[in-house]
Amino acid sequence: MKQLTTFLLAMALIVMPFVHADAGKKKDIVEAYPALAPYFTVPSGKVMSPDELGFIRRWLLLEPISKPNRTNTVFVDSYIRENLDTGWNKGDSFKVPADGDKACDTLTWHALDSRLFNVKLYRYAVGTETGRYGLIFRAVTVIECPEDVENVRLAAGSNSASMWWIDGEEVLILSGDRRMVMDDAASCRLTLKKGRHVITGAVINGPGMSDFCLRFIDEDGAPVRNFEILLK
């Protein structure tokens, strides 16, 4: 009996540190909100490449901002600029957020890789229990170009309206009540200089679903993939 007691005590001393360590481990967002799992994963490496079709799947997503809208018909250019182009991503005060950073006092940025070419914002909001309809979403990603990339266009689709910037400069606006369509709109020709560029976007929805997709295309509409995607 004494030997059994000694054995059990020894086993408890071995197991207890692992139990305590596991209990103290912070869950990542997908572990904390399993409803995200079909649509998102937590980034596992410092860099990733665009997918085979050139779509950018790694994003920092802010928890949605409430902006009730009864209808998507209000999403004309002036309304979009008033509500999305608020200076949040411009000037010296803007810094690329890190996973877990706060914004607007109470909202959190989350680093996520999309399992799909289109980033499911509605599923992100519902999955994190932060909203459903009448929302503004903000998205940030960073790309690193090993050389100048000339004569490309930023192509996007969104549900519903959206705006997109590169290094704080507006390059594309998608207005109106839209469904998410690949390459629904494209920017003017751009040259991405060698080095780091910050892409920011804002998407607004009313009483409906919300998602977006984004990539660079060349003059023939083919995907541009010669860059890496970072988190900062």
Of the listed ranges 14-18, 40-44, 157-161, 194-198, the least confidently predicted one is 14-18
Residue 22 pLDDT grade (very low, low, confident, very high; cuts 50, 70, 90): very low
98 exposed, middle or buried (CB, 10 Å; 0-12, 13-18, 19+)?
exposed
DSSP state letters, 151-163 = EEEEEEEEESEEE
* Coil vs helix vs strand at 165: strand
Strand partners, 62: 109
Residue 25 pLDDT: 55
Structural domain boundaries in the chain: 28-230
Pairing of strands 169-174, 135-145: unpaired
Q: How far is Cα 37 from Cα 111, in angstroms, rounded to an integer?
A: 14
**Distances, alpha carbon 87 to alpha carbons 84, 200, 209, in Å:** 8, 11, 26
Residue 73 pLDDT: 87
- Tell me the average pLDDT across 216-230: 97
Residue 232 pLDDT grade (very low, low, confident, very high; cuts 50, 70, 90): confident
Paired tokens of 120 = 């499911």
Query: Which residue has tokens 């207005």?
Result: 175
Paired tokens of 71 = 């209808």
* 71: CB partners within 8 A, 6+ apart: 177, 206, 207
Residue 17 pLDDT: 45
Query: Which residue has tokens 């490309």?
Result: 152
Q: pLDDT tens digits, residue range 99-151?
A: 999 998 899 999 999 999 999 999 999 999 999 999 999 999 999 999 999 99
Provide the percentage of residues in the chain whose pLDDT is more than 90: 80
* Coil vs helix vs strand at 110: strand
CATH topology of domain 28-230: Jelly Rolls (2.60.120)
- Tell me the average pLDDT across 24-46: 90
